[in-house]
Amino acid sequence: MPVVRPFFPSTHGFHFENSWPVGTPDYVVDVPIVGKVSIGDASNGLCGGMVFSACDLYLAGLRPPPDTTPPGGGSPLFEFIASRLLASFNVPTGVLTYYHWANTPDHDTGVPPAIRSGLAHLTIRDEIPLILGSIGAGRPAGLGLVTVRSLNPGDLRHCHQVLAYGYSWSGAELTLRVYDPNQPDRDSITIQLDTSHPAHTTEIRSNVDCDPIRGFFYTTYRFADPAAVGGRPWKQAEVTAILSLLV
C-alpha cells in the first residue's frame, strides 16, 4: 500500500524554478575593514535550500508563498532559502558524504571479509530505511542525489537535492514520489529502483531534472521556523481534500 503525506509539489512546493541570474551571491556578509563580501553564486542552484524550506513550511502548516518567479537576492525569502541551503549541506559531514559517494564504485568490491560497499548497497541497505522511516513518521525526507564520479570537489555542484514525500512497493521495486525544485508544480516526479540486488550495480530510473543518479542518501534535517516567509496557514478541510487525492 502506498505511504504518502498530505503533500503535492503543486500545492506545497515552491511555484518558481531553482534558477537565479549569474552573479547573485548566496550570502553577503559584513567583514570589518573590508566591508560587504559576497559568497557563492545562486546561479549554481539553491535546491537544498528549497527542499529544506518546503519541508519547514509543510511541518509548520503554512502554504508556500505564491511567487512564480525566484526571489531576488537579499530579499527575506531568498535569504531564508540560502540559509537552509547551508543547513542542507550539514557541513562538514554532508559534504564529505557527497565526496565519498562520488568516489565509490556502483557495486560492491573486494573479497570477504574485506568487502567495500558500493553505491547500490549504501543506497538500498543504509539509506532507504531512513528515508521510508521519516516519511512513515510524518516528515518528508530530503535526498542527496549523487550524479558524478569524480575526484574533483568542484564537480559536486552537479549533484542535486529533492524531497521525498511518498513511496510504494511492487515486489522489490520501490517508487519514491519527490518534489524537484528544478520542476515546480510537477506532481509526477518519481525515482524508481529494484532493491533486490544491493551488491550489484543497480539502475536508478527517474524523471528528476538532473544527470543520471548513481545513488542517493537521506539528508540530516532540523526544523527552522518559516513564519516570516510563509503564506497563510492551511485549513483542515484543505488538508483533508489533498490527502484524499493522494491515496
Query: For 193-216, how does the pLDDT look when each residue is reduced to its tens digit (9 = 90+)?
Result: 999 999 999 999 999 999 999 999
Which DSSP letter does residue 122 get? I
Burial of 240 (0-12, 13-18, 19+ CB in 10 A): exposed
Question: What is the predicted pLDDT for the residue at 111?
Answer: 81
Distance between CA atoms of 171 and 190, rounded to whole angstroms? 17
Residue 39 confidence class, pLDDT cut points 50, 70, 90: very low
Question: What is the predicted pLDDT for the residue at 47?
Answer: 96
Q: Which cell goes with 101? A: 559517494
Relative orientation angle of helices 76-89 and 93-102, to the nearest 10 degrees: 60
Query: Domain count of the chain?
Result: 1
| Residue 26 pLDDT exceeds 90 | no
Question: What is the predicted pLDDT for the residue at 48?
Answer: 95
Question: What is the predicted pLDDT for the residue at 246?
Answer: 61
CB atoms within 10 A of CB 138: 10
Strands 160-170 and 173-179: antiparallel
Domain coverage including residue 66: 3-246
| Mean pLDDT of all residues in 1-22 | 88
pLDDT: which is higher, 30 or 228:
228
| Mean pLDDT of all residues in 32-49 | 64
Which DSSP letter does residue 141 get? E
Which percentage of the chain shows pLDDT scores above 90? 75
Distance of CA 181 to CAs 53, 120, 121, 156, Å?
A: 11, 25, 27, 17
Distance between CA atoms of 217 and 140, rounded to whole angstroms? 14
Question: What is the predicted pLDDT for the residue at 1?
Answer: 55
The model carries a pTM of 0.91
Distance between CA atoms of 167 and 174, rounded to whole angstroms? 7
Place of cell 538500498: 124
| Mean pLDDT of all residues in 137-156 | 94
Place of cell 552537479: 158
Q: Which cell goes with 3? A: 505511504
